[in-house]
């Protein structure tokens, strides 16, 4: 229980620090964009390489990454349909699609799942996160780039070319290659990636805090619409996929919990680099954290009793 509370305290403290530093004008939004650029071009590629180089997937587990990716794509399709009736400008529509379709499994989800379902639940969530990570680092980038309002519409060929030159995509390819060749990473590299992972979380949460604002009237409707897709509809999407693929009870419960999670912090990075609506992205993230975490806690406490 302590690890969960410690995680939540750290998240709240770092977000609050970002808000506080911006209020004191010690950091600016431009400075935070540079921090996010550092994250996407240096810190994240190291973390992603380590994750894909070390992950172990047995033949019986291959379905879970596919389900994770399908969950992202299903939420993206729902968000795309819903966004047509919301009168969104290009920048906000791109942010809306990313916010509805990405899942914050690694930082937010795993502490809760470990608390309620122990190691087996963590394994299930981690395998789902492989599909989610592939989506967040590839398809989500393509979505963000297509809705960048400051650039002319790019061809799909140009978008894919830009995608495969991104440092984190190259790190996925190199990580999978290292995994296939059975490369053993030295202990010193594991320590380095732990340090980099901690630094990246600090950088991203302080940056998110610096961008957080109280929502203006014209944004409230869009935030509520995205939250409905993210939580109740997301949960139904997770349950539907778990039922279709015949997952066991615990795997089904974990899949639904994953589907209820707030957007990935990487949406902030995509929104920043592709000139999407950062205000909308950060407010949606903060709001879904506030609403979603109590719901996930209640859901986990209730359903974990069925597994005892």
Residues 6 or more apart from 83 whose CB is under 8 A from it? 93, 96, 97
Domain that holds residue 112: 2-307
pLDDT band (50, 70, 90) for residue 2: very low
Report the distance separating Cα 165 and Cα 60, nearest Å: 33
CATH of the domain at 159: 1.20.1530.20
Q: Is 50 exposed, middle or buried (0-12, 13-18, 19+ CB in 10 A)?
A: buried
68, 73, 81, 123: which is closest to 242 by C-alpha?
Answer: 68
What count of Cα atoms within 13 Å lies in the side-chain half-sphere of residue 142? 16
The string of pLDDT tens digits covering residues 135-170 is 988 899 889 988 988 765 555 566 666 666 777 678
Report the b/e string of 261-283 with b at 16+ CB within 10 A: bbbbbbbbbbbbbbbbbbbbbbb
Non-local (6+) Cβ contacts of 116 within 8 A are 300, 301, 303, 304
pLDDT of 19 > 90? The answer is no
Q: How far apart are CA 5 and CA 56, in angstroms?
A: 29
Q: Is 43's pLDDT higher than 60?
A: yes
Q: What is the mean pLDDT of the chain?
A: 82
Render pLDDT for 207-239 as a digit per residue (tens, 0 to 9): 777 877 676 777 889 999 999 999 889 999 999
Contact 105, 290 (CB under 8 A): no
End-to-end CA distance of the chain: 18
Instruction: Assign 11 a pLDDT band (cuts: 50, 70, 90).
Output: confident
Domain count along the chain? 1
Question: At which residue do the structure tokens 């019986």 appear?
Answer: 60
The string of pLDDT tens digits covering residues 240-260 is: 999 999 988 888 888 998 998
Q: What pLDDT score does 163 carry?
A: 62
State both tokens at 204: 């991203």
Per-residue pLDDT of 168-203, as tens digits, reads 678 878 887 888 788 887 888 888 888 887 887 788
């Amino acid at each position: 229980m302590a690890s969960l509370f410690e995680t939540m305290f750290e998240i709240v403290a770092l977000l609050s620090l970002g808000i506080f530093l911006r209020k004191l004008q010690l950091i600016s939004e431009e400075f935070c964009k540079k921090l996010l650029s550092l994250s996407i071009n240096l810190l994240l590629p190291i973390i992603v390489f380590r994750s894909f180089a070390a992950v172990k997937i047995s033949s019986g587990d291959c379905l879970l990454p596919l389900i994770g990716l399908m969950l992202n794509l299903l939420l993206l399709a729902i968000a795309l349909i819903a966004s047509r009736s919301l009168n969104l400008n290009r920048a906000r529509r791109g942010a809306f699609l990313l916010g509805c379709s990405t899942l914050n499994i690694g930082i937010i989800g795993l502490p809760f799942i470990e608390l309620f379902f122990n190691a087996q639940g963590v394994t299930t969530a981690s395998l789902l996160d492989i599909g989610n990570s592939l989506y967040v680092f590839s398809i989500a980038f393509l979505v963000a780039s297509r809705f960048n309002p400051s650039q002319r519409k790019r061809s799909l060929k140009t978008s894919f070319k830009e995608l495969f030159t991104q440092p984190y995509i190259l790190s996925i390819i190199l990580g999978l290659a290292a995994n296939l060749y059975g490369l053993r990473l030295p202990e010193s590299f594991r320590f380095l990636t732990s340090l980099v992972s901690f630094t990246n979380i600090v950088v991203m949460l302080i940056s998110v805090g610096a961008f957080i604002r109280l929502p203006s009237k014209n944004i409230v409707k869009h935030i509520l619409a995205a939250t409905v897709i993210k939580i109740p509809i997301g949960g139904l999407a997770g349950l539907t996929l778990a039922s279709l693929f015949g997952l066991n009870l615990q795997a089904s419960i974990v899949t639904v919990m994953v589907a209820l999670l707030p957007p990935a912090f990487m949406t902030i990075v995509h929104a920043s680099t592709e000139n999407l609506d950062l205000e909308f992205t950060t407010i949606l993230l903060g709001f879904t954290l506030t609403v979603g975490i109590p719901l996930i806690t209640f859901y986990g406490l209730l359903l974990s009793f069925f597994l005892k």
